[in-house]
């Protein structure tokens, strides 16, 4: 990667745009969108709505995922000619589950300056609203489309202790929550749709509770941000028998009997009913 920038080359600006409410854009972003020579947009029709709202008439060129490789070459050529270009996605921050990484990597390799213009992001907005501790986060983007692929992927995450965050479509959200419940247990979850829009709506609680509320709705619309509690971290002594494990979890003081039973049952392969019966006697 070349970190020296050529003075005769343009700058590529990575500009965050509103995820819903058109007022959620920074003054700097508005200025950059006015000043650049052109704007590379994931969907020119949607970007045009924003530009019209802001009174901006900067030229638009399309840049979407299916044509990233070829479109990036075109944009790199323009940048090489000294043109300044802003990259925007449909909504939010480019490259966060949106196109842009190919273009940015090429810009770096060609000695072209890349400058971020921070702003709205569905990921950070959802996390800030969730009420779940977000000190360490594993962002998953969109889960695999097919049910089988999704379930296989979720199984690989069952021992992940970090907070999990991902995006989901309205068509898949119910099936996704059912898989989360079946494969990862009835953890705490926060689900929000239509962020910053008129019909913004969120659900919080156990997966089973949120699933019940969403299933009761006649229609489910809007892209979702899902924030899921991580799995329990266990530092229990290796080789301990059932009695010793129950005593160890009890003495930690910050893990409930119910959660301890789930963890012990999974770790040592003993039926949950048996673990629960013994835990009631010891706890």
pLDDT for 234 beyond 80: no
What ranges do the domains of the chain cover? 11-120, 123-228, 242-282
Instruction: Quote the pLDDT of residue 238.
Output: 62
In angstroms, rounded to a whole number, what is the distance separating the alpha carbons of residues 191 and 207?
A: 10
- Per CATH, 11-120 and 123-228 having the same topology is answered no
DSSP per residue, 197-235: STT-EEEEEEHHHHHHHHHTSS---S-EEEEEPPPPP--
Lowest mean pLDDT among 62-66, 206-210, 259-263: 259-263
Q: Which CATH number fits domain 11-120: 3.30.460.10, 1.10.3480.10, 3.40.1010.10, 3.30.70.20?
A: 3.40.1010.10
Q: What is each CA distance from 67 to 42, 63, 70, 71, 111, in whole angstroms? A: 10, 7, 6, 6, 23
CA-based nearest residue to 197, from 26, 17, 18, 16: 18
pLDDT for 253 beyond 80: no
160-165 average pLDDT score: 94
123-228 has which fold? 3.30.950
What digits encode the pLDDT tens for the residues 26-46?
999 999 999 999 999 999 999
* 4 pLDDT tier (thresholds 50, 70, 90): low
163-178 average pLDDT score: 97
Instruction: Quote the pLDDT of residue 28.
Output: 98
Instruction: Quote the pLDDT of residue 226.
Output: 98
The answer to whether 264 and 246 are in contact (CB under 8 A) is: yes
* 1 pLDDT tier (thresholds 50, 70, 90): very low
- In this predicted model, which residue has the larger pLDDT, 48 or 268? 48
SS3 of 182, please?
A: helix
* 236 pLDDT tier (thresholds 50, 70, 90): low
What digits encode the pLDDT tens for the residues 61-114?
999 989 898 999 999 999 999 999 999 999 999 999 999 999 999 999 999 999
112-138 average pLDDT score: 96
In angstroms, rounded to a whole number, what is the distance separating the alpha carbons of residues 199 and 208?
A: 23
pLDDT for 2 beyond 90: no
In angstroms, rounded to a whole number, what is the distance separating the alpha carbons of residues 178 and 104?
A: 37
Render the burial of 207-227: b for 16+ CB within 10 Å, e for the rest.
bbebbeebeeeeebebbbbbb
| Mean pLDDT score of the chain | 91
- In this predicted model, which residue has the larger pLDDT, 134 or 25? 25
Instruction: Quote the pLDDT of residue 102.
Output: 96
pLDDT for 254 beyond 70: no
Tokens of 11: 């700058």
């Amino acid at each position: 990667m070349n970190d020296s920038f050529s003075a005769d080359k343009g700058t590529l600006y990575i500009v965050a745009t509103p995820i819903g409410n058109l007022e959620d854009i920074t003054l700097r972003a508005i200025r950059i969108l006015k000043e650049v020579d052109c704007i590379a947009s994931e969907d020119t029709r949607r970007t045009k709505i924003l530009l019209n709202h802001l009174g901006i008439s900067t030229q638009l060129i399309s840049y979407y995922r299916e044509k990233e490789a070829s479109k990036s070459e075109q944009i790199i050529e323009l940048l090489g000619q000294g043109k300044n270009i802003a990259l925007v996605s449909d909504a939010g921050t480019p490259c966060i589950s949106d196109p842009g990484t190919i273009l940015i990597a090429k810009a770096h390799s060609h000695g072209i300056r890349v400058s971020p213009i921070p702003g709205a992001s569905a990921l950070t907005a959802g996390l800030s609203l969730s009420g779940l501790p977000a000190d360490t986060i594993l962002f998953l983007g969109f889960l695999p489309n097919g049910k089988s692929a999704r379930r296989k992927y979720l199984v690989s995450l069952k021992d992940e202790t970090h907070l999990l965050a991902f995006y989901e479509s309205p068509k898949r959200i119910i099936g996704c929550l059912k898989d989360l419940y079946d494969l990862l247990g009835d953890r705490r979850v926060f689900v929000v749709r239509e962020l910053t829009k008129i019909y913004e709506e969120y659900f919080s609680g156990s997966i089973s509770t949120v699933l019940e509320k969403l299933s009761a709705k006649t229609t489910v619309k809007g892209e979702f941000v899902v924030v899921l509690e991580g799995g329990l971290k266990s530092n229990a002594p290796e080789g301990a028998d059932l009695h010793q494990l129950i005593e160890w979890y009890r003495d930690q003081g910050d893990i409930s009997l119910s959660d301890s039973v789930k963890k012990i049952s999974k770790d040592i392969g003993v039926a949950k009913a048996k673990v629960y019966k013994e835990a009631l006697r010891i706890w």
